């Protein structure tokens, strides 16, 4: 029988969303899909950040990006909501307040 060698990680670990964070983000995504506003998403897990991007159409730039950067945990906060043109819309230490502007937008979409 062979020896199993661990997979080498270049320069450290990978930043990822934990189960509770991903559940919260995918819940919002599902509600936006049900409202007919979003159609696609992408996730990128790298050494510096984990990014969830939501798209109106697959061929466009993401309408919103939710970024988790643990290196900024003690400064501005590890969470950021970034708009379509790369502008930071909200930054903070917790995920809930970061998702609030998108959830308010969802309420407007549903009430129309």
- pTM of the predicted structure, to 2 decimals: 0.81
Cβ neighbours for 5, distance < 8 A, ≥ 6 positions apart: none
Q: What is the pLDDT of residues 27-64, one digit of tens each?
A: 999 999 998 888 899 999 989 999 999 998 767 788 99
What is the phi-psi region of residue 34: left when phi exceeds 0, alpha when psi lies from -120 to 50, beta otherwise?
Answer: alpha
Categorize the per-residue pLDDT at 110 as very low, low, confident or very high, splitting at 50, 70 and 90. Answer: low
Domain ranges across the chain:
26-76
* Bridge partners, 44 (sequence order): 51
């Amino acid at each position: 029988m062979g020896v199993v060698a661990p997979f080498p990680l270049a320069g450290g670990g990978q930043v990822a969303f934990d189960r509770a964070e991903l559940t919260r983000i995918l819940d919002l995504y599902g509600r936006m899909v049900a409202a007919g506003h979003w159609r696609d998403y992408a996730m990128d897990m790298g050494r510096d950040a984990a990014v969830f991007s939501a798209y109106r159409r697959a061929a466009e730039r993401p309408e919103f990006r939710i970024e988790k950067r643990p290196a900024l945990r003690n400064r501005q906060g590890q969470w950021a909501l970034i708009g379509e043109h790369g502008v930071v819309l909200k930054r903070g230490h917790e995920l809930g307040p970061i998702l609030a502007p998108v959830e308010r937008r969802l309420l407007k979409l549903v009430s129309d």
